Amino acid sequence: MKLQTAVSQYLESLAADGRSPHTIGAYRRDLAAFVTFAGSLELDDVTPALLQRFMASPLVQTGPSGQPRAKASINRYRVTVKALFSWAEARWLIARNPTAILKCQRPKALPRETLSEAELERVLCTEYSGRHGPRDRAILGFMLTTGCRLGETVALSTSDIDWQRQTATLRRPKGGDPDRVPLSPRCVSLLEACRTGETPTNQPLFRSGAGRRLSCRQVQRIVSKRLQEAGIDRHLSPHVLRHTFATRLYNQTGDIRLVQTALRHEHIETTKVYAHVDPQRLRQAINGAAPIA
């Protein structure tokens, strides 16, 4: 089988497995570089030496701007190529896996940027300007109190909110079937601004002035604008709201498995980035454990 054919079938299998479009897009870009480098080789003709030359090539080592790539970006190419050949090996498309020579590195994960407790309260309590102020506060409140992703948030319809049971059904969660997440009383109170009072329909929960579903880009602009209005001058993406939710949940419970479930992570390793100790809590613990003179 030609390498390019194998790559196409591999990407199709990722889509069939329910992987997110963003993940598939990243794999497609990395594997396109590999196909460009390797040419029209048979899949079985890829050797460890060829893989080493590819990893040392400008396609991997240098970014589009001509600047050297970060170590994490280079490591992503290793992960992608190894995934391709593991897929091929499992289907007996190759006699031998040449990627054993590629040693993936696990970079140390730094704590994610989050909102402080004071900033969180300002975001949830600010009376935002304009007729869409209550809607925008509901969007911020929903993401901060559920940890839902941007795509999951904009995909919500009015029928996805169970007001009595205080739950939200995510119709298009990342890479899987519909999922149900609990809503806190505070979140339900904020979402009341988007409640129609009619029999539940499939109309969007978060709507534009014309009644259409807000796009991800529109919500990104809303989050940026409203954070500034709440007095937060840092340039933050909507994903910071998810990081804030996860960090607070871990600090309150100390249960990384609970955080994994709340974030709907498939692997615990993805969640461990939130298992860092709050410096203030560490200082308080050290001061409390110090011997009394």
Beta strands in the chain (DSSP E): 161-162, 167-170, 179-182
- Quote the pLDDT of residue 235: 86
Q: Beta-carbon neighbour count of residue 118 at 10 Å? A: 10
pTM of the model: 0.66
143: its two tokens: 């993401």
DSSP, collapsed to helix, strand or coil, labels residue 210 as: coil
Q: What is the pLDDT of residues 78-106, one digit of tens each?
A: 999 999 999 999 999 998 999 988 887 76
Residue ranges making up the domain that contains 65: 3-101
**133 and 205 belong to one structural domain:** yes
pLDDT at 61 over 60: yes
> Alpha-carbon distance 22 to 14, whole Å?
11
DSSP, collapsed to helix, strand or coil, labels residue 146 as: helix
Q: What is the pLDDT of residues 95-144, one digit of tens each?
A: 899 998 888 776 565 567 889 999 999 999 999 999 999 999 999 999 99
Residue 223's nearest CA partner among 155, 117, 128 is 128
**142 and 225 belong to one structural domain:** yes
**248 and 178 belong to one structural domain:** yes
**273 and 135 belong to one structural domain:** yes
Q: What is the pLDDT of residues 220-260, one digit of tens each?
A: 999 999 999 999 988 888 999 999 999 999 988 888 899 89
